[in-house]
Homo-oligomer: A and B are copies of this chain.
Amino acid sequence: MHAEEVLASELANDAANEAWRLVAQLFMRRAGRAADVANSYGLTPGHMKTLLTIEPDEPKPMGALAETLHCDASNATWLVDRLEERGYVERQAHPTDRRVRTVALTPEGIKVRDEIESKLYEAPPEFSALAGAELDALCATLRKVTPAD
């Protein structure tokens, strides 16, 4: 690599880092909102995250839930206990392995989960102010840098 290429690469990296910093700042500035949404449903952030982690019609084993939430199995038990008391989820038997208990959303849980999701994914007003073409370009670029799970 020649000197000019090294320099160009470093500049590109600066731009990449700046883009990432802006993404992080943007999100963190709105982080308080997520806590407010959880609060408005009388949920802790952890319980809200648990609710969002379970897909409708896809019962999830306790172990998988704990893994997704990056938490301990006993903590997952506690989180699900509270959501079950509320009637948002229910534990079910696993069809083949009787050691496993899966957690499924109830109709009420699905309703609340949908409401929460739409509130969390509501864009800040600055986004709507962008021109249509710029917004489309933004989405396209963001999709490129979003790893496919």
Instruction: Please list the residues of chain A having a beta carbon within 8 angstroms of any beta carbon in chain B.
Output: 8, 11-13, 15-29, 32, 70, 120-124, 126-130, 132, 134-139, 141-147
Contact = CB atoms under 8 A, between A and B. Distances in A.
A146 B124 CA distance: 10
Contact of A26 (B13, B70, B122, B146): B146
B145 A24 contact: no
B130 A144 contact: yes
A102 to B, nearest CB: 24
A20 B70 contact: no
Consensus secondary structure, chain A interface: helix
A135 to B, nearest CB: 4
Contacts of A28: 27
A24 B27 contact: yes
Contact of A141 (B21, B134, B147): B134
A122 B12 contact: no
